[in-house]
Homo-oligomer: A and B are copies of this chain.
Amino acid sequence: MPLFPASVVIREVGLRDGLQSIETILPTPQKIEWIADAYAAGQREIEVGSFVPARLLPQLADTAELVAYAKTLPGLVVSVLVPNLKGAERAIESQADVLLVPLSASRAHSLANLRKTPDEVVAEVARIRAARDAAGSKTLIEGGIGTAFGCTIQGAVEPREVLRCMQALLDAGADRVSLADTVGYANPAAVRDLFEKARRIAGDRLWCGHFHDTRGLALANVYAALGTGIARFDATLAGIGGCPHAPGASGNASSEDLAFMLADMGIETGIDIERLLALRAKVAQWLVNETLHGTLWLAGLPKTFPARSIRTLTL
């Protein structure tokens, strides 16, 4: 029998990875309503935005306001993405619980997307760690290694290089590291292989899996990562998103489909799926001009849900 985690956290990244990739700009009150409803549906980790210059991503310019609101919700872990020290200083000031620094293991993608080499990002993480410690802040630093399974610009990304970047991030002071299939190139065998190797390097500091459904494999990849003990996954409501610097990539793992898969497997997520589907319907109205993804909203929950638990199956 495979051993799966008894419970899994789905980190909602739709407000960041989702909204930064689409045309529609959601007004702040709608974003706050989204966060409130996600919280009411049981989601306890939300990446609410990015601390990047507003001229680059105007749709995320209200991130500080969203952190302030999200911090009022008891027990909610509030994440933000930051590309550099300046963003990290704003994140620390906002008292976000987690700041995620993206690093692209693909040098070509890193230069195109972040205008830095992977090692320059590592050096920035060391500066962020120093700033965090100097401020006496409790904000955790997560190094998010993207294009970990390949890159639309460079092509192959060697696992060896991904793991080297991971070790460097930890050495530079990242509290946690995560692996992201930024452009939808992963397959479940590659996921299993890389997450097993990453576990040997990072231990419990290996934190999160981030998969895109570009070629329909997001949930298969989650299942493969689950088997290596990963218990935290990024996902976006209605699967919105993709990387604006990775042509052809589209669609994160869908939060509601992932929540269903996990719950149906008998894994606790704390999420009320009916409520999450209601939120999806609401957000779909706000994003009426966007292409949305996912299957559960259309097919509905099975008649057997949630009575069956794999743990109780016996012959």
Contact = CB atoms under 8 A, between A and B. Distances in A.
A30 interface: no
Interface string A120-155: 000000000000000000000000000000111001
A315 B160 contact: yes
Contact of A295 (B216, B257, B300): B216
A266 B223 contact: no
Nearest to A253: B216
Q: Give the interface centre of A4, A151, A188, A222 by most chain B CB atoms within 10 Å.
A: A188
B308 A261 contact: no
Interface string A52-95: 00000000000000000000000000000000000000000000
Given A163-B315, A217-B219, A295-B213, A304 B189 contact: no
Interface stretch (A11-19, A21-29, A38-46, A190-198): A190-198
Contacts of A248: 299-300
Q: Give the interface centre of A184, A187, A266 by most chain B CB atoms within 10 Å.
A: A187
A220 interface: yes
Contact of A265 (B188, B196, B213): B188
A310 interface: yes
A255 interface: no
A145 to B, nearest CB: 15
B219 A216 contact: yes
Contacts of A215: 257, 260-261, 295-296, 299, 302
A303 to B, nearest CB: 4
A159 interface: yes
B219 A184 contact: no
Interface of A: 1-2, 4, 150-152, 155-156, 159-160, 163, 183-185, 187-190, 192-193, 196-197, 213-217, 219-220, 222-224, 227, 248-250, 254, 257, 260-261, 264-266, 294-296, 299-300, 302-304, 307-308, 310, 313, 315
